[in-house]
């Protein structure tokens, strides 16, 4: 799954092989649906992230599991219904992120060694599942590109945490860069 590197080299230079490069666009995330169960699963993943809620779990978890995850999913689900992409039965954030990756892939269409994919920090498709897909596509290098306009621990850092966490579970280790 390697290709000849397209660079200028001397005539007697040995061939240099290079695997594919994966670009993984990552957005915040979205629930799979507006129903109570989907919203609860999404909110749980989001609100148990230590970079989002930095309180001691001793204090936060009773509030989260006793109150928030029992009352908020229904209310938040109703709010999501008002902005839900009913044509595709998904949030517009998922629609826009997928379309952004598609447009970027079209930009790189002339570069067969570049693969563009997308994932979500919270929800599906997960960062781990997309990194695995990039591996199976022959990527030896991955650029993780969080789609946030600024750096913050609760945005960019948590995406990077999840990317490196995915690598902890994989024997295969690509060269990884982050934006």
Residue 55 DSSP one-character state:
S
CA-CA distance, 84 to 94, in Å (whole number)? Answer: 10
- Confirm if 100 and 118 have CB atoms less than 8 A apart: yes
Cα 7 versus chain centre, distance: 31
Backbone angles phi, psi at 111, to 5 degrees: -115, 90
Within this chain, do residues 139 and 59 fall inside the same structural domain, yes or no? no
The answer to whether residues 106 and 68 belong to one domain is: no
Under 8 Å between Cβ of 121 and 178:
no
Give the model's pLDDT for residue 7: 54
Give the total number of structural domains in the chain: 2
| The model's pTM | 0.86
Element containing residue 164 per DSSP (H, E)? helix 158-168
Quote the pLDDT of residue 172.
Answer: 78
Per-residue pLDDT of 21-71, as tens digits, reads 999 999 999 999 999 999 999 999 999 999 999 999 999 999 999 999 999
Q: Which run of H or of E encompasses 127?
A: helix 127-136
Are 70 and 156 in the same domain?
A: no
Q: Are residues 96 and 8 in the same domain?
A: yes
85, 120, 152: which is the final residue of a domain? Answer: 85
- Domain of 168? 3-31+90-178
pLDDT at 157: 95
pLDDT at 63: 97
Residue 52 shares a structural domain with residue 112: no
Residues 44 and 108 both lie in one domain: no
- C-alpha dihedral sign at 75, 83, 102, 154: negative
Per-10-residue mean pLDDT, the chain, length 179: 54 71 97 97 97 96 97 96 95 97 97 96 97 92 95 94 94 89
Residue after which a domain boundary falls, among 65, 85, 105: 85
Position 4 scores a pLDDT of 47
pLDDT for 18: 66
pLDDT, position 14:
66
How many Cα atoms occupy the beta-carbon half-sphere of 139 within 13 Å?
24
pLDDT at 16: 55
Q: Are residues 26 and 42 in the same domain?
A: no
* Shared-domain flag, residues 27 and 45: no
């Amino acid at each position: 799954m390697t290709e000849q590197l397209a660079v200028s080299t001397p005539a007697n230079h040995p061939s240099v092989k290079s695997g594919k490069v994966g670009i993984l666009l990552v957005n915040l995330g979205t629930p799979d649906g507006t129903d109570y169960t989907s919203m609860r699963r999404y909110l749980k993943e989001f609100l148990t992230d230590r970079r989002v809620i930095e309180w001691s779990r001793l204090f936060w978890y009773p509030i989260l599991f006793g109150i928030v995850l029992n009352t908020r999913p229904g209310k938040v689900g109703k709010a999501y219904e008002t902005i839900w992409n009913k044509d595709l039965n998904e949030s517009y954030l998922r629609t826009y992120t997928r379309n952004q990756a598609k447009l970027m892939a079209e930009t790189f269409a002339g570069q067969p060694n570049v693969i563009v994919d997308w994932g979500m920090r919270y929800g599906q498709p997960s960062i781990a599942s997309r990194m695995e897909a990039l591996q199976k596509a022959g990527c030896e290098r991955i650029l993780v590109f969080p789609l946030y306009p600024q750096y913050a621990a609760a945005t960019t850092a948590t995406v990077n945490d999840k990317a490196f966490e995915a690598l902890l579970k994989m024997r295969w280790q690509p060269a990884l860069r982050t934006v």
